[in-house]
């Protein structure tokens, strides 16, 4: 929190929520409190409890260390999503081969075409499920990393 009055104000409100009335006319403090509320709601919906202590940093070095962990996590997520995208695109040639194996691209579709379409659909459903699982794991890792580094990307502070 770059503005000096924000941190004590937020700590005051965290300690006793009724103190929010004292700061209701301060747009900067209320903006920060609103951001915390949104993060807390998001984490609650994801099934993760987050506290004020989980998101504050002690000093610039702590902030830089956390930014580094987050950047590492983003790179890992980007790499995983790129690999998943490549896997999905690998199914595209299957569609062309399905038409060839079924005896051409035009006319009525036979049982072979239907069987291949069903197999392809099952593979795509499996891939979609796997991608959803990867996304859930990445979200959990992100929440843990932002909550003080407990988890795969860092050690406990």
- Residue 88 near residue 73, CB atoms below 8 Å: no
Give CA–CA dist 47/53, Å, rounded. 18
Mean pLDDT of all residues belonging to the chain: 75
- Name beta bridge partners: 151: 154
pLDDT of residue 154: 39
**Three-class secondary structure of residue 145 per DSSP:** helix
pLDDT of residue 100: 53
Q: Where is mean pLDDT largest: 7-16, 55-64, 82-91?
A: 7-16
Among 73, 93, 71, which Cα is nearest to 138's?
A: 73
* Prediction pTM value: 0.40
């Amino acid at each position: 929190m770059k503005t000096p009055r924000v941190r004590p104000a937020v700590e005051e409100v965290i300690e006793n929520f009724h103190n929010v009335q004292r700061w209701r006319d301060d747009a900067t403090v209320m903006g920060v409190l609103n951001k915390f509320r949104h993060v807390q709601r998001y984490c609650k919906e994801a099934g993760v409890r987050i506290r004020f202590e989980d998101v504050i940093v002690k000093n610039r070095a702590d902030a830089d260390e956390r930014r580094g962990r987050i950047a590492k996590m983003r790179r890992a997520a980007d790499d995983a999503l790129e690999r998943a995208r490549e896997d999905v695109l690998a199914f595209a040639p299957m569609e062309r081969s399905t038409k060839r194996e079924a005896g051409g691209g035009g006319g009525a579709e036979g049982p072979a075409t239907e069987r291949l379409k069903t197999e392809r659909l099952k593979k795509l459903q499996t891939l979609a499920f796997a991608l959803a699982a990867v996304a859930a794991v990445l979200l959990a890792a992100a929440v843990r990393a932002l909550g003080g580094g407990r988890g795969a990307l860092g050690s406990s502070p």
